[in-house]
Amino acid sequence: MADNKTPTTNIKGEFVRGVSSFRNWIKDDPSAEHPAEINRYHLYVALACPWAHRTLVLLKLKGLNHVISYSVVDGLLDMEKGCGWAFGEKYPDPHHPTFTHLKDVYKLSQPDYSGRVTVPVLFDLKTQKIVNNESPEIIRMLNSEFNKFARHPDLDLYPEHLRSHIDELNEQVYPKLNNGVYRAGFAKSQEAYNAAFEDVFSMLDKLENILSKQRYLIDNNQITEADVRAWVTLLRFDPAYFTLFKCNKKMISKDYPNLYGFVRDIYQMKDIKETVDLHEIKKHYYRSLLTINPAGIIALGPEINYDLPHDRDRFK
């Protein structure tokens, strides 16, 4: 849900994340307002953004590349002018070639829109309207509503028999880790930072313990959305959050062998590596978030190799 707005904090100096505005649903039902169809929908993502990244990972895992098109916006935000996510020569909008910023898509969908311009965006090309810009809901749609077109319809990342466990872990990982790193990075009081810092590392310790006993977070034999939701944050931890967000107690690649192996395991899955651009990630965080890095200087380290062999298949 990264956007073009200056980060908001409350009276205690705690980072407060905004609420997404478009919450419609695509359904595997021809009579639905937004029925599942081939070539009807387009996904706007930023390779830098973890919230958008999770939707792209689902698209790849389910084998929906031929069903839903996607395009990438530039990772460098224009925070000063408030223009936010931009298109350009390297990052064009294939369906609206005159558009310069993602906000143009929002305005097309709702001309009087003045809210947050966030990624991901799931867009209906037939109605020219945004369907949804809330990543947890988009990944659920990608998982379940396009199976008749998917190359991997049997892969269910939110299976009914595991849903209560997935939901329980998601409800812990989101505030303490996914959003926890942002709470630390954008904190405006020592107390708020301290609380976020403790949440982040208590959750990392918990996940490390789980992954010391099984291959994935919920089920030893099956990847689920809980893995994807955690993975996009873990992938960015050492390159961005450790230094920029001051989450500097431990590193994934140095201090958490099971988390590091887990990151490499998913990174090396078919078609997932192509969704990762560490240059875009560092460019976005270090050069866009000028409220916490005014000079826009990009840290050169650390050097991380996600192609190293992992040993996660030791769990049978």
Domain boundary among 86, 118, 144: 144
Residue 229 lies in a domain: yes
d(CA 168, CA 187): 26
Joined together, the tokens standing for residue 304 give 């991380």
Question: Using one digit for the tens of pLDDT, what is the confidence trace for 116-166?
Answer: 999 999 999 999 999 999 999 999 999 999 999 999 999 999 999 999 999
Q: What is the pLDDT of residue 5?
A: 53
Are 309 and 242 contained in the same domain?
yes
Cα distance between residue 41 and residue 126, in whole Å: 8
Position 4 confidence tier, pLDDT thresholds 50, 70, 90: very low
Q: Write out the two tokens for 206.
A: 């918990």
Is residue 294 assigned to a domain?
Answer: no
Judgement on whether residues 274 and 172 belong to the same structural domain of the protein: yes
Domain span including residue 78: 8-144
DSSP string, 229-285: HHHHHHHHIIIIIHHHT---S--HHHH-HHHHHHHHHHHTSTTTGGG--HHHHHHHH
pLDDT tens column, 189-220? 999 999 999 999 999 999 999 999 999 999 99
pLDDT of residue 63: 99
For residues 307 and 179, membership in a common domain is answered with: yes
Question: Looking at the domain assignment, is residue 187 inside a domain?
Answer: yes
Residue 121 corresponds to which amino acid? V
Residue with tokens 């595991």: 162
Helix, coil or strand: residue 306:
coil
Per-residue pLDDT at 47 exceeds 90 = yes
Count the alpha carbons within 13 Å of 310 in the hemisphere toward its beta carbon.
Answer: 22
Q: Are residues 262 and 216 in the same domain?
A: yes
Under 8 Å between Cβ of 253 and 304: yes
Answer whether 250's CB lies under 8 Å from 198's CB. Answer: no
Whether 40 and 166 share a structural domain: no
Looking at the chain, the whole-number percentage of residues with pLDDT higher than 90 is 89
CATH of the domain at 21: 3.40.30.10
For residue 293, tell me if it sits in a domain. no
Would you state the structure tokens that stand for residue 252, as one six-digit string? 């994934």
Measured over all CA atoms, what is the biggest interatomic distance in the chain, rounded to whole angstroms? 55
**Per-residue pLDDT at 62 exceeds 90:** yes
Token digits of residue 293:
């890095």
Q: Provide the number of structural domains found in the chain.
A: 2
Q: Report the alpha-carbon distance of residue 108 to residue 204 in Å, rounded.
A: 41
- Give dist(CA 201, CA 181) in Å, integer: 10
Annotate 225-241 with b (16+ C-beta within 10 A) or e (fewer): bbbbbbbbbbbbbbbbb
- Place 9 in a pLDDT band, splitting at 50, 70 and 90: confident
Q: Which long-range contacts (CB under 8 A, 24 or more apart) does 296-305 make?
A: 299/243, 299/244, 302/238, 302/239, 302/242, 302/251, 302/253, 304/238, 304/239, 304/253, 304/278
Which of 93, 113, 144 finishes a domain? 144
195 and 274, same structural domain?
A: yes
pLDDT, tens digit, for every residue of 229-255? Answer: 999 999 999 999 999 999 999 999 999
Active site residues: 49, 182
Pair (180, 309) in one structural domain: yes
- Output the DSSP codes for 185-196: HT--SHHHHHHH
Domain boundary among 95, 112, 144: 144
pLDDT at 1: 47
**222 and 88 within one domain:** no
Does this model's pTM top 0.75? My answer is yes
Among 84, 80, 8, 29, CA closest to 52: 84
Q: What CATH number does the domain containing 197 carry?
A: 1.20.1050.10
Res 21: pLDDT: 81
- Is residue 149 assigned to a domain? no
- Which stretch of DSSP H or E encloses residue 61? helix 50-62
Do 194 and 86 lie in one domain? The reply is no
